[in-house]
Amino acid sequence: MNYLFFSLAFMGLHTLAYMGAGMIALSISSDLYKGKERILDFLVDPEEEGGVGLKVIPAQIIRGLIMSVVLYPILDFLSEISFLTQFLFFAGLTFIYTDLSSGDPFPSNIEGWVYMKKDYLSRKAFWKIQTEMIIYSGIFGLLAAWLLV
């Protein structure tokens, strides 16, 4: 498989899925990210800090590149498995490694429940973030299985 094509496609699909899931999820979880009384007040409010929007796409392109490179050793294997298995692999990989089992503490992952102050841990925040991550993982898994390998 062509590594350059794979990485470029991965970066594009990841960024598209990330932005799409974010737009969908923001409609149900704006109380997490926006306003003075937002639940995740340790994050920048996109409406107060004008530069966040300018950083999102380049950041996702870099993340996509990094995530794609670590898959190079198994590209041949990925091209041999069924669409359903590819979907489950990519969706599971993005959900588990970019969220639930991430090493950075956040209210939606295992490390967050260990290391974060209780003020930031709530079922409401957990499930809203999980909804966003499930949407992202599903979109990315489908696109990757369909178009990537």
Average pLDDT score over the chain: 92
pLDDT classification of 143: cutoffs 50, 70, 90:
very high
- CB-based contact 21:135 (threshold 8 Å): yes
**Closest Cα to residue 132, out of 57, 42, 30?**
30
Q: Which of 20-34, 63-77, 83-97 has the lowest mean pLDDT?
A: 20-34
Q: What is the pTM of this model?
A: 0.90
* Sign of the C-alpha dihedral computed for residues 97, 101, 103 and 108 taken in this order: positive
Least confidently predicted of 3-12, 38-47, 113-122, 124-133 = 38-47
- Looking at residue 46, its pLDDT comes to 76
Q: Binning pLDDT at 50, 70 and 90, where does residue 50 land?
A: low
Neighbours of 8 (CB within 10 A): 15
**Run of H or E including 13:** helix 3-33
> End-to-end alpha-carbon separation of the chain, Å?
8
CA distances in angstroms from 121 to 59, 98, 104, listed in the order given: 26, 19, 14
Q: Between 142 and 37, where is the model more confident? A: 142
pLDDT at res. 49: 64
Q: Which two tokens stand for residue 20?
A: 């799409």
Mean pLDDT (whole number) for 120-142: 94
